[in-house]
Structure 1
């Protein structure tokens, strides 16, 4: 039965990336059912081939833990989430095969198709693991808890970069709240409890503002005195610095914010402030006063003259009446 030999070779090639599955008890239990009762039933007519096939499948999976390490593809470790997804794919594929009564050539074809699908799925999962989970930090000291696919035990791994993670420039308006956010994208994924310490620069020295499990610092209603340099550190459970972030804060004044002028007194004589450009003696200001005075005096004199002329006119009328011819008496 040549198809059985091809099946063994295909299994050795296609299961290369599945060495970590030997650390999942559920997957190994299902594999034992596949290589034991299922193959015994399906290959009842050739017990020798069945035994060789079972032994080869078992050794292939156990020997996969010695795969060569390559940064883009496989590092010999896996996280619990990726392990769970890979094991779920494996269990679904094996269960589907065992639930059907495949024999001979049909069993060979189903096994080849399933192993190919498993290999593609695991390749995709490991690529995502290498891209997003394995040392995603561009700076700082990140701690991982991974499963060692060789020893099947959990180990602590560290990804060391430079502690300095850059500077952020913040501009906030006066009377607003200032928020210093010290969290980086990889902090949440870093293993273990974390704390954050914030500093305020004072000349050539620094003073500690606060140390807490919160990744941000809130300072309410800032003033111009809050402008300056700040710094924060992320610390691990042992108190070691894992990352450092700096801030340059500028507090801008409110629009139109200026010192108000003093209010004039409510009681007392009203006084006008002196002109910033005093009028010289004999200038336009003095002529205006004299024109007003002269006009007023002329109007008064005109009124007095008019009244005198009218009074005199009234006294002269009777005398003229007496001197006229019609006004003489006949004797």
Structure 2
């Protein structure tokens, strides 16, 4: 079991990071390796193998740190956040194994499986960092803190691209608000950046400073024709020279024509019950339709009463006429 354990601890030392063993740059990882030697091995490995195993571990760690670094390539470089994340995960998994108190061959298999998984996960993370997060600026000068795994050196790396980030064409109507945005996605993660400065650029190429500060947007309310023209934004750095330059060409359009009366009339026409619901009677129409049968009945009854009265009058007149003739 001694040979198997040596090979397994070699995996701990060199499989996690293929270029250089960056985890050894984290003091907490080295403390965990020492704790493994002093606190865990005595109860889980024969004493005669302890010194030989740990000598092999440290020699392999040192050997990987001494591997040559190829200038111009990014192998063996990582950012602090990624290194801290992979180190936390490794320490968590080592603690899980030691807390389980597993021994012998079971301990070797569990540790080997864990290290292989951590290696694969870190390889994916390191690849993603080198493709996506390493110098993500498409223009400008970005300052990024990186760790050179070969000597555990942490220093600021300048990602240098052309500082001119192009010209933006902005159109705004008179009396509206003008907004010039100078923020790029990598500004938040870059180090060494200071203040944004906005200038008005005149036709004779002279400039007027309009704003200097931490805000990345210049806002001007109620613009007029006089605000049309060229502007420029610079993002300063702690070093000499700007990090980013963005130019703007502002065109002021005539004020928007608002047809409020026409719009109101159109809304009334579209919202009219007679237009939208022409086949559906309104409440007033329905009420009239409901009252119409009652009014006809009343009219019929009135006509009947009138006819009855006229008939009674005719009868009375006939009786009076007959009575008069008899009295003669």
TM value normalised by structure 1:
0.70
> Is contact 2:14-2:21 (8 Å) kept?
no
> Is contact 2:6-2:57 (8 Å) kept?
no
Q: CA deviation at 1:188?
A: 1.2
Between structures 1 and 2, the one with greater helix share: 2
2:12 counterpart of 1:4: no
Cα-Cα RMSD: 2.5
Q: Is the alpha carbon distance of 1:162 and 1:73 closer, same or farther for their aligned partners in structure 2, counting shifts above 3 Å? A: closer
Q: State how 1:85-100 maps to structure 2 within 5 Å.
A: 85-100=85-100
2:304 equivalent in structure 1: none
Q: CA deviation at 1:131?
A: 2.9
Q: Is the alpha carbon distance of 1:68 and 1:172 closer, same or farther for their aligned partners in structure 2, counting shifts above 3 Å? A: farther
2:249 counterpart of 1:248: yes
1:27 equivalent in structure 2: 29
Q: Secondary structure at the match of 2:186?
A: coil
Which 10-residue stretch deviates more, 189-198 or 206-215? 206-215
Q: Secondary structure at the match of 1:186?
A: helix
1:217 equivalent in structure 2: 218
Q: Where in structure 1 are there 5+ consecutive unaligned residues?
A: 258-331
Q: Is the alpha carbon distance of 1:100 and 1:218 closer, same or farther for their aligned partners in structure 2, counting shifts above 3 Å? A: same
> Is contact 1:73-1:130 (8 Å) kept?
no
| Inter-partner Cα distance in structure 2 for 1:137 and 1:160 | 9
> Is contact 1:72-1:127 (8 Å) kept?
no
TM value normalised by structure 2:
0.70
Number of residue pairs matched? 255
| Inter-partner Cα distance in structure 1 for 2:94 and 2:72 | 28
| Inter-partner Cα distance in structure 2 for 1:231 and 1:132 | 29
2:38 equivalent in structure 1: 36
| Inter-partner Cα distance in structure 1 for 2:133 and 2:214 | 23
Q: Secondary structure at the match of 2:36?
A: helix
| Inter-partner Cα distance in structure 2 for 1:73 and 1:13 | 20
Runs of 4+ with >4 A deviation: 67-74
Q: Where in structure 2 are there 5+ consecutive unaligned residues?
A: 259-328
Q: CA deviation at 1:141?
A: 0.9
2:189 equivalent in structure 1: 189
1:309 equivalent in structure 2: none
